[in-house]
């Protein structure tokens, strides 16, 4: 393809996700991201109807395969699938043959023998979704892989910001917390920088990945600097389960230096949004008064997760083209 036709392609509105899987935000174009966000707006309307159901995925089977605990992601995928009229299955790893030593590939291939159309996978290993996409015919949707990506979380975060602020470009978005272990951070950096936001990341020096600046963000350990004039503050959980050593003296010390308090909030813009992907450690990365306060959109994020996941499922199944063919 020559440069001129590439430029023309980029200018044309993206009307379909022409890909088998959703593995990460890294591989999505700005147009594809905007298509998901626009489609999620229509899906959100479905959730306001007396009968919250459309036939878009009737006859499709979706398997939710979660190797790590989840409250928000697993539940909202299941609700999204049901609102689209798909047949859904939840695999309980603890009572499956995984406990007898069956590998991820064997588990997925055996599930595939029963002809599902999509597999929603959460796994502790970074790259598990890319691996399954190579061995499976089904569409693979990444619901969080190790410390790599959590694409639908970043999409619902962007949807929630755009809903309030009407734009992402030019906003100062401060992401504060355990940067090193966060797949939410990686997906959000890819997405927010692609859509033109001014992204700051902040945490203890031991929890800032060495190469983070090459992704186009400003990194600091001075929380006041990160929060100053911020339009959005996103707190990330301290992931003790992924830490092998001590990255800071104590949780009490972490809250004293980095915790989001009402006093620190005063440094941000008057219409700041407070976000957290959950689950929260109250009194560690965020004070309860802030989590439950007037600037918090944390439960809006959860509500929007259903609409965004409906959009992803619908678009990967072929969107309007699939519905016309049915």
**Residues that bind ligand CP in the complex, under the rule CB under 6 A:** 70-73, 144, 153, 277-279
- The smaller minimum CB distance to ligand CP, of residues 70 and 126, is found at 70
Least CB distance to ligand CP at residue 47 (A): 19
Least CB distance to ligand CP at residue 73 (A): 3
- The smaller minimum CB distance to ligand CP, of residues 133 and 182, is found at 182
- The smaller minimum CB distance to ligand CP, of residues 120 and 230, is found at 120
- With 0-12 / 13-18 / 19 or more C-beta atoms within 10 angstroms meaning exposed / middle / buried, residue 243 is middle
Least CB distance to ligand CP at residue 225 (A): 27
- The smaller minimum CB distance to ligand CP, of residues 14 and 150, is found at 150
- The smaller minimum CB distance to ligand CP, of residues 24 and 319, is found at 24
- The smaller minimum CB distance to ligand CP, of residues 107 and 301, is found at 301
Least CB distance to ligand CP at residue 46 (A): 22
Least CB distance to ligand CP at residue 40 (A): 16
Least CB distance to ligand CP at residue 5 (A): 39
């Amino acid at each position: 393809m020559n440069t001129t036709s590439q430029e023309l392609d980029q200018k044309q509105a993206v009307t379909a996700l022409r890909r088998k899987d959703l593995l990460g935000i890294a591989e999505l174009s700005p147009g594809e991201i905007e298509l998901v966000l626009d489609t999620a707006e229509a899906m959100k309307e479905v959730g306001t109807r007396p009968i919250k159901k459309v036939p878009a995925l009737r006859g499709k089977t979706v398997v939710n395969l979660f190797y790590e605990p989840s409250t928000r992601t697993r539940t909202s995928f299941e609700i999204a699938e049901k609102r689209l009229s798909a047949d859904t299955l939840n695999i309980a790893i603890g009572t499956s043959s995984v406990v007898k030593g069956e590998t991820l590939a064997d588990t997925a291939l055996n599930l595939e023998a029963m002809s599902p159309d999509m597999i929603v996978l959460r796994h502790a290993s970074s790259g598990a979704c890319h691996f399954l996409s190579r061995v499976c015919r089904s569409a693979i949707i990444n619901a969080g892989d190790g410390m790599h990506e959590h694409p639908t979380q970043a999409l619902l975060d962007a949807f929630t910001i755009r809903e309030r602020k009407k734009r992402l470009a030019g906003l100062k978005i401060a992401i504060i917390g355990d940067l090193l272990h966060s797949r939410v951070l990686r997906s959000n950096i890819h997405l927010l920088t692609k859509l033109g936001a001014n992204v700051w990341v902040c945490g203890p020096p031991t929890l800032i990945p060495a190469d983070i600046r090459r992704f186009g963000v400003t990194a600091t350990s001075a929380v006041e600097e990160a929060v100053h004039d911020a339009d959005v503050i996103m707190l990330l959980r301290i992931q003790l389960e992924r830490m092998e050593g001590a990255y800071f003296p104590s949780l009490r010390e972490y809250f004293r230096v980095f915790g989001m308090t009402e006093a620190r909030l005063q440094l941000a813009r008057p219409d700041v949004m407070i976000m957290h992907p959950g689950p929260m450690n109250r009194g560690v990365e965020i004070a309860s008064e802030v989590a439950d306060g007037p600037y918090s959109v944390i439960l809006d994020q959860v509500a929007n997760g259903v609409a965004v996941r409906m959009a992803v499922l619908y678009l990967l199944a072929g969107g309007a083209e699939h519905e016309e063919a049915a």
